[in-house]
Amino acid sequence: MTTHLPSPDRSTYPSRRSFTRHLFTRRPLALLLSTCLAAAVAAAAPAAAAPLPTAAPVLTAAPLPTDGPGVGTPWVVTLGDSYISGEAGRWAGASNSDSDRADALGPTAYFDNAGGTGETIPRCHRASSAEAYIGGGVEGLNLACSGATTATSTGSNFKPGIDFYEGSAGKGQARMLQEAAATRNVRMVVVSIGGNDFEFASVVQSCVVNFLTSPTWWKNYCHDDSSVTANFTPSNVAAVRARVVGALDNVATAMSNAGYDTSQWTLVVQTYPSPVPNGSGIRYSESGYTRQSTGGCGLWNQDADWANSTVLPTINGALLGAASDVGLPNVRTLDMTHAFDGKRLCERGVGLYEEIGLPNWRSAGAADRTEWVNQIRTVSTIGDSPYYVQESLHPSYWGQLAMRNCLRQVWNAGDPRSGSCTVGNLGTARLTPSGEPSMVLGPLK
């Protein structure tokens, strides 16, 4: 479904309060906002070339009765929030003319229960394209949940944190890990958490609303809003860092309670990737509404710059600091900061399917020429489309598979190592035989 935004003359604007109430709902990181889809464009495209390989479906074997700490098939377990659960992993690139062109996994993308008939926890959005499933004789278990913070939330949507909560609504991720690890040979636990503790969803909401409700000649930036900057004060950064340390301590306790010593498993702390380029790298003009109505990236240039120069380094710095503070001998770090550079939302050099002239996600070159981050969509524009608001600004199908490729290199045939992940063969549309973008794991920067 296509929804039009107002005419891009910015001559009249609704009040900020009414505009925000109409377009957005307050939600955690995974339940971001969502961009309106663009005006309808012609959908016809030439016939596709030979399709590229696609990622194999997830086939997770049940552990044997004798499996446990140090015994049996190795397992990788992922914990955290939407940036590791697989949120938006259904969509490979984007099209404003026909969602089918980007629909890689279909309506069952997030079905993770034993029978494959639904979600174990509603709206956790654990996609089959998520990075946990590195294969090669290694099993994967994805316990992350879109919208999670370090602590469990039992509101209208249950969101397990990395703690030992147990109640009628469900269990915390640390408790789930402890139970799973007792009957599996868990060799590596990967954690990505903290974005929601920094209220990242609210930050993005403020930035998009400010873009849509102020003219180019009187820009209202979000990076100087007190409600935004309050999330990045030294005291709040220290508080979030301490909560992440607590979450990592809980992971270590869960593994110890399950019968492991630190020589039998590795804790990998994973940082967040940059989802948008600096303002100069956005392919849509600041003038008018095209940046939002077509691209789904309604940010002023200065706010995009600030996101990359301040927000992301602050959040990732807190995670890396926590990895050091926890004081475990078996910690490794996977830096994803630049993993999507060249493939980010609205970045120059990539585009929507109708912009680049490819029929759909199966077309040769699709992974190289489309974005790896999902558009921001607003509540008012979802309608009866197959999109979820919470998929906004998250790694899409190609991004998920790229992170999986990075994580497999961190696994390193059972001898986990740290590293920074970047796109390999940028501009050559190369995929691995398993259908993943080819990535490079280099030294930590």
Regions of the chain with pLDDT less than 70: 1-62, 380-381, 427-429
Alpha-carbon span 405 to 107, nearest angstrom: 24
CB-based contact 183:100 (threshold 8 Å): no
Q: What is the predicted pLDDT for the residue at 385?
A: 85
Q: What is the predicted pLDDT for the residue at 384?
A: 79
Q: What is the predicted pLDDT for the residue at 13?
A: 45
Q: What is the predicted pLDDT for the residue at 55?
A: 54
Tell me the pLDDT tens digit for each residue of 370-426. Answer: 999 999 987 766 777 899 989 999 999 999 999 999 999 999 999 999 999 999 877
CB-based contact 21:101 (threshold 8 Å): no
3-class SS string, 112-164: CCCCCCCCCCCCCCCCCCCCCCCECCEEEEECCCCCCCCCCECCCCCECCCCC
First to last CA, the chain: 43
Q: What is the predicted pLDDT for the residue at 66?
A: 76
Q: What is the predicted pLDDT for the residue at 380?
A: 60
